[in-house]
Amino acid sequence: MPTSRTSSPGSPRRPSTCGSASQTATKTSAGRSSRAILADRYPDVAAAAAQALLAPTVTRRLIEEFASQPRRDRPRPDQLASLTARELEVAKLIARGLSNGEIAETLVLAEQTVKTHVGRILAKLDLRDRAQVVVTAYESGLVTPGEGVD
């Protein structure tokens, strides 16, 4: 026997399970909206439904547009001047996300030589790890978002 989707008089209406929390806003007999009841029972769902989000395609286009804008106002930091030409090449490739092995293959070097260059870059720029090399490379303009590996 099929069940009825209607509620009996005087009982609160139960929200449909096929709608989202933001789509459900029926009034209960106690005068509270079902959205408020859902917010009490499922705060994470209610918070997500209440936030304004951009579609992933819009976010991606916004970031690409922002990243494509030239940043000529940033002078090259003096600390990068202390790096050799080869260390600058290695720093660029680190910023592009290459591993030591990939950098060695790209520059036709031994992996141990790349590790030595990485160590010297960290020491000369007073950085803790490769992540800081990436940040420094982008902030200094050594690498521009959207450029491919040379």
Residue with tokens 């720093």: 91
pLDDT for the residue numbered 65:
75
Residue 108 is assigned to a structural domain of this protein: yes
Distance CA 110, CA 102 (A): 10
pLDDT for the residue numbered 90:
97
Highest averaged pLDDT of the listed ranges 40-44, 69-73, 133-137:
133-137
* Residue 17 DSSP label: T
* Residue 33 DSSP label: B
* Closest among 145, 93, 147, 91 to 121, alpha carbons compared: 91
Q: Structure pTM?
A: 0.51
Structural domains in the chain (count)? 1
For the cut 70, the answer to whether the pLDDT of residue 7 exceeds it is no
Instruction: Tell me the percentage of the chain whose pLDDT exceeds 70.
Output: 56
Structure tokens at 148: 């491919």
* Closest among 32, 10, 119, 138 to 77, alpha carbons compared: 138
The predicted-structure confidence for 59-94, as pLDDT tens digits, reads as follows 777 777 777 766 555 545 677 899 999 999 999 999
Task: Specify which residues 122 forms β-bridges with.
Answer: none
Domain that holds residue 118: 76-140
3-state SS class at 27 = strand
Residue 45 is assigned to a structural domain of this protein: no
Neighbour-count burial for 84-94, b at 16+ CB within 10 Å, e otherwise = eeebbbbbbbb
Residue 80 is assigned to a structural domain of this protein: yes
* Domain CATH for 119: 1.10.10.10
- In one-letter notation, the amino acid at residue 122 is L
Residue 11 is assigned to a structural domain of this protein: no
